[in-house]
Amino acid sequence: MKLSKSEEKLMELIWSNQPIFMKELLEVLPEPKPAPSTVATLLKRMQQKGYVGFKLFGNSRQYHALVEKPDYFSGQVKTIIKDFFSDSPLQFASFFTKKADLSTNELEEIKKLVETEIERRKK
């Protein structure tokens, strides 16, 4: 299940600061800060979706991610490829390299990454 934009922003803060108490989360949220009840609702939805867990310390909850950031974003990229590129990573790569306005240096770096991954997989 996908996170909403508001949930993703909150998840970014959790990934960067975990474990984190609600009070600390409210402090690191950028302005304009949402109401504490809004943050609590978002956290509850994120728990129900399986992205966030917590430990109880008295009446306070210390939150932590149940899904690692690379895993979440990998899933998002796979969804984009499936939904917009007929489930073809090759179509995605073609679109990305032609439309992302990449410099020659950036394309060379991507080429090196691909070549390195090919060599790793051959071993």
pTM: 0.76
Q: What was the pLDDT predicted at 100?
A: 86
Q: What was the pLDDT predicted at 72?
A: 93
Q: Using one digit for the tens of pLDDT, what is the confidence trace for 42-84?
A: 999 999 999 999 999 999 999 999 999 999 999 999 999 999 9
Instruction: Write the DSSP symbol of residue 52.
Output: E
Q: What was the pLDDT predicted at 2?
A: 86
Average pLDDT for 81-98: 91
What is the CATH code of the structural domain delimited by 5-65? 1.10.10.10
Contact 55, 61 (CB under 8 A): yes
Extract the tokens encoding 110.
Answer: 């991507």
DSSP run (H or E) holding 54: strand 52-57
Average pLDDT, the chain: 93
